[in-house]
Amino acid sequence: MAELVYSAGLTSKLFWLQESRKTAGYILDGYSKADIRKIAWKENIYQVKAEYRAHEVLNGTYRRVATLPEAVLQTFTTCDVETAKILNLIAILMDSRLFFEFLHEVYVEKIRLGEKEITDRDLNVFFSDKALQSDVVAGWTDTAVRKLKQCFARMMFEAGLLESSVKPRIIKPIHIDYRTEELLIANGLGEYLKAVKGA
């Protein structure tokens, strides 16, 4: 796994499922980021109201999906919505070390213990621990941390891992078909698969 620095940047981004699939399609068609940028607003491919938003969505989605191996990108643009949500979540995790660690350390453990809910305490303990381990996290404002907690819950809900993004945040077991699992493992993304499955 690439060494990503902790960042609170996720708070300004959304799950962007359809947008990410669109971006992935353009990448597969051989368009560069600069090419996509030209058409993003002209053709309003992301259905946004302002040009700066189109560029914001492009920057966020491109950064995520450009890290996916080509075979995974291909599947991402053609698979059913439930599978696409999982692949999109994996792209987000590849871009956010902190969110990956949250799933890996908290969500996986919850499933292992048969616990049904992600509580405020789980989130608080996770961020307190990270603040002790990292000067970057220790330097964040309470507001930034609160937004990240909300963001984690929202992303997990939109990916189908939670029944709701607000309390009680009940864990929802997800089904990933074996073809998708094989694809992820074959492309070196087994660690992310485990984090998402809670395995």
pLDDT of residue 2: 43
Say if residue 3's pLDDT is above 60.
Answer: no
pLDDT of residue 5: 82
pLDDT of residue 65: 97
Which pair of structure tokens corresponds to residue 199? Answer: 């395995």
Query: Who has greater pLDDT, 2 or 72?
Result: 72
Say if residue 4's pLDDT is above 80.
Answer: no
Closest CA relative to residue 34, chosen from 59, 6, 15: 59
Give 155's contacts (C-beta < 8 A, 6+ positions apart): 10, 15, 89, 92, 99
pLDDT tens column, 121-164: 999 999 999 999 999 999 999 999 999 999 999 999 999 999 99
pLDDT tens column, 174-184: 999 999 999 99
pLDDT of residue 1: 45
Report d(CA 198, CA 157) in Å as an integer.
Answer: 15
pLDDT tens column, 5-55: 899 999 999 999 999 999 999 999 999 999 999 999 999 999 999 999 999
pLDDT of residue 48: 96
Report d(CA 38, CA 82) in Å as an integer.
Answer: 30
Q: Where are the alpha helices (DSSP H) in the chain?
A: 17-28, 33-42, 51-65, 70-78, 81-95, 97-102, 108-113, 120-133, 135-138, 142-159, 178-186, 190-197
Which pair of structure tokens corresponds to residue 177? Answer: 């078909």
What predicted TM-score, i.e. pTM, was given to this entire model? 0.95
Residue type, 99: F
Report d(CA 20, CA 16) in Å as an integer.
Answer: 6
Give 54's contacts (C-beta < 8 A, 6+ positions apart): 40, 41, 44, 45, 46, 48
Query: Taking phi first (over 0 means left), then psi (-120 to 50 degrees means alpha), and beta for anything else, what does residue 3 get?
Result: beta
pLDDT tens column, 99-124: 999 999 999 999 999 999 999 999 99
